[in-house]
């Protein structure tokens, strides 16, 4: 029933910006924990940002100060604004959602999008 669709990925030069969107359908995400993950070839999946049902945000150290996660409950959409991009940010980016509502460490997210590729060149 729940579907998440990412968009906004692409290729940019180092120092550039990109805005990812995650459109949800089949449920209302207001009460959900929402997260952004990324995975590069040969590397472990990393949670880069999350936002709780109450709006509390958390970031991985690697993106702190550069990325901003936000949501629009009326549009049922999650966003990730990525600034000052670095080549090491290159990865497939996924959004995820869970109805638990609070983004605790190691939360097993129930719903995942298909991913969108982000490539940053030097």
DSSP 21-55: EEEEESS-GGGSEEEEEEE-TTS--EEEEEE-TT-
For residue 1, the Cα-to-chain-centroid distance in whole angstroms is: 20
pLDDT of 39 reads 98
Task: Give the pLDDT confidence score for residue 23 in this predicted structure.
Answer: 98
Distances (CA, A) of 52 to 39, 94, 120: 22, 17, 28
pLDDT of residue 109: 98
Per-residue pLDDT tens digits of the chain, which is 122 residues long: 899 999 999 999 999 999 999 999 999 999 999 999 999 999 999 999 999 999 999 999 999 999 999 999 999 999 999 999 999 999 999 999 999 999 999 999 999 999 999 999 99
- pLDDT, position 26: 96
Given CA atoms 15, 48, 69, 59 in this order, what sign does their dihedral have? negative
pLDDT value of position 83: 98
Which residue carries 């460490």 as its tokens?
Answer: 105
Q: Is 66 exposed, middle or buried (0-12, 13-18, 19+ CB in 10 A)?
A: middle
The pLDDT assigned to 65 comes to: 98
């Amino acid at each position: 029933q729940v579907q998440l669709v990412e968009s906004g990925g692409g290729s940019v030069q180092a120092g550039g910006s990109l805005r990812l969107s995650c459109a949800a359908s089949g449920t209302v995400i207001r009460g959900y924990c929402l997260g952004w993950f990324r995975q590069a070839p040969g590397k472990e999946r990393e949670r880069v940002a999350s936002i709780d049902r109450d709006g509390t945000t958390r970031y991985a150290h690697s993106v702190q100060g550069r990325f901003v996660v936000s949501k629009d409950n009326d549009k049922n959409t999650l966003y990730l604004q990525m600034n000052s991009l670095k080549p090491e940010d290159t990865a497939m980016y996924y959004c995820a959602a869970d109805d638990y509502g609070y983004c605790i460490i190691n939360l097993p997210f129930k719903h995942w999008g298909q991913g969108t590729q982000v490539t940053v060149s030097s």
